[in-house]
Amino acid sequence: MRNKVVSIGDALKAYLDKSRFKPKLLEVKIQENWEQLMGKTIARYTESVQLIDGKLMVTTTIGPLKQELSYSRDKIMHLVNDMLGEAVVKEVIIK
């Protein structure tokens, strides 16, 4: 019996989808695209962006930015999930 021929890219993607590295890879992808998603000003004043168990943790020390991001949690969640192409982020937490 012959195995189905798959491209290396498809095989690697299938492996990573089942891998324990997937959450970290998604976090890195979010960090790399954060400026493009949120704009230069917000990205400049954002200290860190982490993805932990479906929760996107955004850290900033700027009070007004915290407030603005808190009001935009749903929008941020949708932007990030659309960029990733799957519903990874279940909640956005602003710290």
Q: What is the CATH number of the domain that holds 28?
A: 3.30.300.20
Statement: residue 1 has pLDDT above 70? no
Check if the beta carbon of residue 25 is closer than 8 Å to that of residue 49: no
Q: Into how many domains does the chain fold?
A: 1
Tell me: the pLDDT tens digits for 16-37? 778 788 888 899 999 999 999 9
Whole domain around residue 76: which residue ranges? 21-94
Per-residue confidence (pLDDT) for residue 7, from 0 to 100: 86
26-82 pLDDT, tens digit each: 999 999 999 999 999 999 999 999 999 999 999 999 999 999 999 999 999 999 999
- Give a yes or no: residue 50 inside a domain: yes
Query: Is pLDDT at 88 greater than 70 in this prediction?
Result: yes
Could you tell me if residue 89 is inside a domain?
A: yes
DSSP bridge partners of 59: 48
Q: What integer pLDDT is reported at residue 66 of this predicted model?
A: 93
